[in-house]
Amino acid sequence: MGLGDVLLVLHVLGIVGWAGLTTGAYFVLREWRPREVPKSYQRLVHLEAAAGALVFATGVAMAVYLYGFPKSPLWIHWALGIAIVVGLLEVFHVYAVRRWPLERYVRLANRLVPVWAAVLVLMLWLMVAKPF
């Protein structure tokens, strides 16, 4: 098993961790409806952000190691641009969960769920199909 394989395994595990934590935590908070954002939920959001950072770091490392970034296929540049936007949204997510009241945070989360789903589908398409 070479470095490229190890990076791919970590990348896929990071995606599963990010998507799983995001989805699970959202449904728990939506159904539970406490009066304020629980500290345990805030910790989950931090773990989610760490999983997203792992996905970003392993994706960039694979682009460099396997494709010779920046002279890599165009789909990698698209993925990098989308990942930067997602990273900024994740930073905002961590800020919102720590600072905002629960109702305002839940309204934001409800609006962002379709965005997260679309981004995940787009990134999986780029990763699997490698269209350009």
Whether residue 37 is predicted with pLDDT greater than 80 in this model: the reply is yes
State mean pLDDT over 51-62. Answer: 95
Whether residue 33 is predicted with pLDDT greater than 80 in this model: the reply is no
Q: What is the pLDDT of residue 82?
A: 93
Crossing angle of the two packed helices 39-67 and 74-99, in degrees rounded to 10:
170
What's the pLDDT band for 7 if we cut at 50, 70, 90?
Answer: very high
Tens of pLDDT, residue by residue over 88-102, are 989 999 999 999 998
**In a 3-state reduction of DSSP, which class is residue 99?**
helix
Q: Is residue 73 a contact partner of residue 67, using CB atoms and an 8 Å limit?
A: yes
Q: How many CB atoms lie within 10 A of CB 21?
A: 19
What is the rounded distance in angstroms from the CA atom of residue 62 to the CA atom of residue 115?
25
Domains of the chain: total: 1
Q: Which domain holds residue 75?
A: 3-129
Tens of pLDDT, residue by residue over 109-127, are 888 888 888 988 998 899 8
Tokens 């600072």 sit on residue: 99
